[in-house]
Every structure is written in C-alpha cells, then in structure tokens.
Structure 1
Amino acid sequence: MKVNVAIDGGQSALRLRVLPTGATGTGPGYTHGPHASDYMLEAIRTAAVAAELAGPVGVVALGLTGYPADTATEFAARVVQLLEADEVRLTQDMVTAHAGALPDGYGVVVAAGTGLVCLAVDRDGTWHKLDGHGYLFGDAGSAFAIGRAGLVAVQRARDGRGPVTKLAETTLDPIAYYRSPTLVDDVARFAPDVLRCAAEGDVVALDILAGAAADIAETIDAAVNKLAGTEPVPVACVGGLFAGAGEQLLGPVRAVLSTRAHLVPAAGNALDGAERLATAEPGPYTALTVIQRKL
C-alpha cells in the first residue's frame, strides 16, 4: 500500500508527516544562500529518515518557506526522485497554512512565525498574497521583526542612546549574529524575551509589541479589503508566533482591526494543510501549486 506524505517547511524547522499512519519527523529549517534548495532537500531526507518513511510513496505535498519560484518545477522533480514518489504537489507555506486553517477555502489567513505572510482567498477562488517579502523588505509584525526591534533596543540602551529596558539584561551579543548562517532564525528567537518583558510591564517591550500588533492588523485589513462584498470575513492567525503569544498579541491586534475582519480559531496548522493537499485535489489552490509526476 502506498503512503502519502505531507511536509511543512519553515524557517525554524521542517516537519514531515506520513499518511495515514501519522508518523512524523523533523529536519532543519530554511537556510538562506545560493544552496538553499540543496539544504532543503537534505532537510526533507533527514525528516523522512526520522519518520521511518518506507515503502512506495504516492503523493507528496509540500508547503515551503523559501519557495523556489524560479526553479519550482525542477525542485519538485528532485523531490520526486528523492522520495521515489508518484506525484509531488509543491506550493508556498502560505497556501498550506490557509488550507489548514480555513478548510472551506474562503477568508484570510495570517501565518506568523519567524517571518509573516498573509493569503486572502475569495469565494470565486481569486487569491491575493500580502507581505511575505522577507526579513529585509517585509514580514512586518513577525517574530524576526519583534526580535530585531528588541535587539536594537538592547544596543541603544547599552550605548545610552535609548531608554533603560529589561531587554538589555540579556547576555546575548547581537553583533555576533552577523557571522551566523542562521541569522534570521537567531534574531527571531529573541521575540519571546520581548513578550516576556512586555508581560512584566517593560515600556520599551510594550511599545515593540504594540507596533507589531498594528503592523499585523494593517496587513489583515488590507487583505480583507481585497475580497468582494461587505460581509464579515473570517480571519485565522496561525504560526509559532501566535501560538506562543496568544492573547498577548491577538488582543492588541483585535483592538485595532476594522469591523469587517472577524478573527476565528484556526481549524488546523500548516502541516494539516499539507495533508489536505496530499489527500485531495488542490481546489482553490490549484493556480498556486506546481504538480510534478514521476516520468
């Protein structure tokens, strides 16, 4: 009997689920650089070994951060060969996040982890991507953005150029991150410290959190406005940042949203969405999915 495989590849980790057994494995997250696709394939291999993937493979569905847009077909073919699969369905992580959170297909999903991307899907299948522009030019409100703002505050406080903050009590040396091949993930990992200090009433951390919430709400409202009609739009917020922060972040976001944006609990996560793509037709996500079959 052939098994199907669902893969969620993020910046912090790659997760693989074997269907229908539910066996899971993990591999390293996305690594920036000229050999990113090679590293991603190795992460898939690592996760497959950890999940003890064996036997013939039918469909593999992948939602990936760092989606190789210019070489998607080639990359999908390499996954076919790597896992000896009959078919590979390759798409962006925002698609699997949407498919997992809103299985009916209509509405807005904001996926916030290390980075941040938003996908709005209308009733007629029309879709709009917002942000997801990467750590240099976008990802407003993401864990990276929060972590970076926190580390900037650390340096300003240490220099005496900025206000005193509990954030500066960290033993981290932000300058050392310049040499790290996982700089983006390293910086994002400071976000929980910002959330903790904000919960303790640190004014600088609270300002950073408020700014992130405003950025997220701005992205959500822009997405909602792209959908036809005037009725309320379901909006699901998913990803590691929301999972870790909960109402500490969702509360400020909700407070500044437009009335048309209606926050709803996510039905599932991005790995669940990849499972849906692996076991059913891509449906409203067809235009966003590269399908490669074994020759």
Structure 2
Amino acid sequence: MIRLAVDGGQSALRLRVVDDGRTGTGPGYTHSSSVQGMLDAIRTAADDAGVTEPAEVVALGLTGFPPDPPAARLLAAGIAKALAAKEVRLTQDMVTAHAGALPGGYGVVVAAGTGLVCLAVDRDGSWHKIDGHGYLFGDAGSAFAIGRAGLVAVQRARDGRGPETLLAETSLDPVSLYPSPTLVDDVARFAPAVLRCAAEGDAVARDIVVRAAGDVAETIATGVRLTAGTGQVPVACIGGLFRGSGEQLLGPLRDALPPRADLVAAAGSCLDGAERLATGPPGPYAGLIVTYRS
C-alpha cells in the first residue's frame, strides 16, 4: 500500500505518491466547488499520477477545507472511498504550508498564490490564523489582489482617468473576464504582468507591488505580535506568488517587517508539508487535522 500527499489550492490540486515520487494534478478549488467536485479533482490528480493501488494513508491540505466538522468528516470519508484509503488526514492548506516551510513547528508562515493565508504557531502549540478570507473579503497582497489592482489600472489608463502605464499594453479586455467560471484564477494570472512591469520601472505597477508587500507585512506583523515573548520569530513565505516575484515583492516586504520577524527560507513546499503529515506524527497540528479511518 502507498501513502499519498495532496496540496489543493485555487489554481490547481497537486498529488504526490510518497513512496516513489509520482505526481499528478487536478482542477483547483473555486468557491462554487461542491464536495463531489473536490472528490473529482482529487481522483483526477490520482489518475494523472497513475495511482491504481489502495492507499494506507492520504494527507491533504485543502483550500476548500470545510469549516463545519461533520462536513469535513463527510469529505474525508468520500476521499477514503475514492482512493481506497485506510486512513485520511484532512486539514487546511495553511497547515500543510506551515508544516512544509517550518519543520520545527514554531513560527509564522504566509502562503500566497491565488489567495493568501497566514498561520502563526507558538512554542506551546497554540495557533492563530490570519486572513485567508477569500478574494472578496481578504487575501490581502495575494496574486488575485495584485492582478485585480493591475487590471483596474489598465481600465483607468484606457479611460483616461488614471496615469499611463505599461500594463495597458495588454491585449486582455478585463471586462471580458466577468462570465468566466475561473474568474478568480484568471485575475490572479495577471499578477506576473504587474511584477514584470514593476521590474521594468513602471511607476503604476511598482506602486501596486509595494502596496501588496505592505499588506503581506501587516499580516506577518499580526502573526508575530500574537506569538508570545519578545525574541525573534522565524517567518517563512511560501507559494507561487513568492516564487515568481523575486525581489520585486520580497524587497519592500523585508523593509516593512517588524524587528521581531526573522525572515528565513522555507524548508519545503505545501506538498512537502502534506507528505510530512502523511508519514509522521501530527505534532503541533493535531487539533487542526480531521482523521478518518475506514
């Protein structure tokens, strides 16, 4: 029997067979996703990885983790059936992000891709979630937030209401995105263009990136403040946004961090964190994991 690790984000769902490294992908989470839709995405990723054998343990960190405990157990039971798994360990993607980035289990981790969420874990195992409230009410500094600000700048420049910007040279018509069933992901995919234009010296794009860095710094500062003591707190940034931004985002972010924040390189990815939860004890995350045994 095999062990499986799953990282389910808004842009894609990724699966890894721990035993031999096989990987597969499935559709990402949308806010209209049903339980069956999430199960289908997981099965798609398993098929993509060539998984045909039963699983001893499946550990998953999902953006669409149900906040209602009975619903979470129902999803875990569905996963166990879909993957012929003896045990399912189901949690939020912020947990697998933290487990992958800071194996010591102490500190603050910001996971930023299409959305953004932060988890602060103290030495006594207590934890605080910051943001992760979705594209309408949160996810400040995320790829969606940067992409949306960039597309607003495009429209303002084209209307003559705002300053000229290289962003307006895109062939994309932002209004055409409204009917898209993948609207959030589509908007987030404009973030690389904003970062690129900022690197080329565009003032409008640069301002968007600096403001996003300030939003992320505020989220980190909140996590650090909620961590007991006065000493340095390790802080790791993880996810596709940080991988693709380089110093365009990290530079102003570093400048805006509070003195207690010790920015360190992430030890691993969200998928690495899911693998850790699939192969070892839950550690400080025990209270955040729903375990189902078939």
TM-score per shorter chain, which class?
over 0.9
Measured against aligned partners, the alpha-carbon deviations of 1:233-288 in whole angstroms (never above 9, x if no partner) come to: 00000000000002221111001111100100000000000000000121110111
The answer to whether the 8 Å contact 1:31/1:39 transfers is no
The root-mean-square deviation of aligned C-alpha atoms, in Å, is 0.8
Measure the CA separation in 2 of the matches of 1:137 and 1:96. Answer: 23
Measured against aligned partners, the alpha-carbon deviations of 1:43-78 in whole angstroms (never above 9, x if no partner) come to: 111110111112221010000012122211100000
Tell which deviates more after alignment, 138-147 or 246-255.
Answer: 246-255
Measured against aligned partners, the alpha-carbon deviations of 1:84-134 in whole angstroms (never above 9, x if no partner) come to: 100100000000000000001000000000000000000000000000000
Look up the equivalent residue of 2:27 and give its one-letter code: P
Q: How many residues align?
A: 292
2:52 to 32, 54, 58: 54
Q: TM-score, normalised on structure 1?
A: 0.98
SS at match of 2:177: helix
Measure the CA separation in 2 of the matches of 1:41 and 1:55. Answer: 17
1:8 and 2:37 correspond: no
SS at match of 1:48: helix
Measure the CA separation in 1 of the matches of 2:186 and 2:35. Answer: 20
Measure the CA separation in 1 of the matches of 2:64 and 2:5. Answer: 17
Measure the CA separation in 2 of the matches of 1:61 and 1:46. Answer: 16
Measure the CA separation in 1 of the matches of 2:21 and 2:238. Answer: 21
Tell which deviates more after alignment, 68-77 or 110-119.
Answer: 68-77
Extract structure 1 runs of 4+ deviating beyond 3 A.
none
Structure 1: give runs of 5+ residues left out of the alignment: none
Q: State the shift of 1:32 in Å.
A: 2.3
Look up the equivalent residue of 2:61 and give its one-letter code: G
The equivalent of 2:288 in structure 1 is 288
Q: TM-score, normalised on structure 2?
A: 0.98
The equivalent of 2:113 in structure 1 is 113
Q: State the shift of 1:36 in Å.
A: 2.8
SS at match of 1:69: coil
Measure the CA separation in 1 of the matches of 2:184 and 2:106. Answer: 31
SS at match of 1:179: coil
The answer to whether the 8 Å contact 1:236/1:266 transfers is yes
Tell which deviates more after alignment, 50-59 or 87-96.
Answer: 50-59
Measure the CA separation in 1 of the matches of 2:173 and 2:4. Answer: 40
Measure the CA separation in 1 of the matches of 2:124 and 2:66. Answer: 27
Measure the CA separation in 1 of the matches of 2:37 and 2:151. Answer: 28
Measure the CA separation in 1 of the matches of 2:170 and 2:188. Answer: 15
Look up the equivalent residue of 2:124 and give its one-letter code: D
Q: State the shift of 1:37 in Å.
A: 2.1
